[in-house]
Amino acid sequence: MTDKIRWGVLGNATIARRCVIPAIQKSRNGRVHALATRRPADAGPVAAENRIERIYDRYETLLEDPAVDCVYIPLPNHLHLPWTLKALSAGKHVLCEKPIACTAQEACEMDAAAGRGRLLLMEALMYRFHPRSREIKQLVSDGRIGPPRLVRSAFCFHMAAEILNARDNLRLRPDRGGGALLDVGCYSVSVARWMMGAEPTRVQAQAIYHDTGVDVHVVGTLQFPGGGLATVAASFISALQQTFTVAGAAGAIDLPHDAFIPWLKDAAYILRGRDQETGSRHVVPGADEYQLMVEHFGDAVSGKSRLDFVFEDSIANMKVLDALAQSARSGDTVKL
């Protein structure tokens, strides 16, 4: 292996072009060696801008390239399982976009394949690597707000009417792993579990469904051991909500509506005491959470460190998402 991890990227997706490929190229320990896309002509600009050496017109060809150390998969949700399995079978470490799979069963299958090949597999939940996210987690773990009692989290945006009416967007197709719960609800569930430091024991959910059958508006509740509760929201039909609050017995932490994707700007949060209405504003210098994520994964691939966002966490997240989807459909409380 060379000094820098050589990445292969499967698909010319927006998240790859805008966020992850540039993050890899400016990382201290990696570079994009190859990009595979069904439409190579469309990949010319991103290849030129990011100095990508090789463009392949077949995903399989990239996986056969012996120079590729690990693969980033930004494909549609329903393709996460098959292409992760193929990449692992080819001996490549895998960083796969969120949600890691469409079901917890799929995630377990991916985990088993990684274990058999002794390869690393991680979900690209980049918010976990932002310094603000980690500072807040440390405050909670240190007891600054007392035992966490309530997490309120939401990731919602308003999809254009023409997209909702056209019905062909991947987010609106049940056969493609569509729906708001998988697409953005994975963030809210993840942060609730992370801040609580525990797994929920039961969940409830209600949802509004598009005529294609996917959920477009979801609210769920999670009950944790020791009296903790969380509300999670995901939507394609509401105004922007991209935030979370952690309330403990002795205080609370509030975030603005850039909680998961603050881009490169300085990132703030409010720390309040038990009876404070305003509290104190804290600012964390801007950082590229995508770069921090790929550097962390690269260090683990090269053996310099271990993953601190382990795949068991992603499986647990999928189990909660499965349970919320089941509850929304059935109207029942689902025990985990």
pLDDT at residue 2 in the model? 59
Listed residue (230, 145, 144) closest to 191, CA to CA: 230
Q: Where are any strands of DSSP class E within 210-296?
A: 215-223, 229-235, 237-248, 251-254, 267-273, 280-284
Q: How far is CA 35 from CA 16, 71, 218, in A?
A: 10, 10, 35
Distances (CA, A) of 274 to 30, 150, 228: 45, 13, 17
- Among the listed residues 234, 145, 139, 137, the one whose alpha carbon sits nearest the alpha carbon of residue 186: 234
Tens digits of per-residue pLDDT, 172-197?
999 999 999 999 999 999 999 999 99
* 29's tokens: 């320990």
**Strand order in 267-273's β-sheet?**
280-284, 267-273, 251-254, 237-248, 148-158, 229-235, 215-223, 202-209, 334-335
- Structural tokens at position 41: 């002509």
Which residues in the chain land under pLDDT 70? 1-2
Domains of the chain from N-terminus onward = 5-124 (3.40.50.720), 127-292+317-335 (3.30.360.10)
Pairing of β 229-235 and β 237-248: unpaired
Answer yes or no: are the C-beta atoms of 71 and 87 closer than 8 Å: yes
What pLDDT was estimated at residue 3? 80
Sole residue written with tokens 């399995």: 85
Angle at 15 between CA 9 and CA 19, to 5 degrees: 90
- Check residue 80 and give its pLDDT: 98
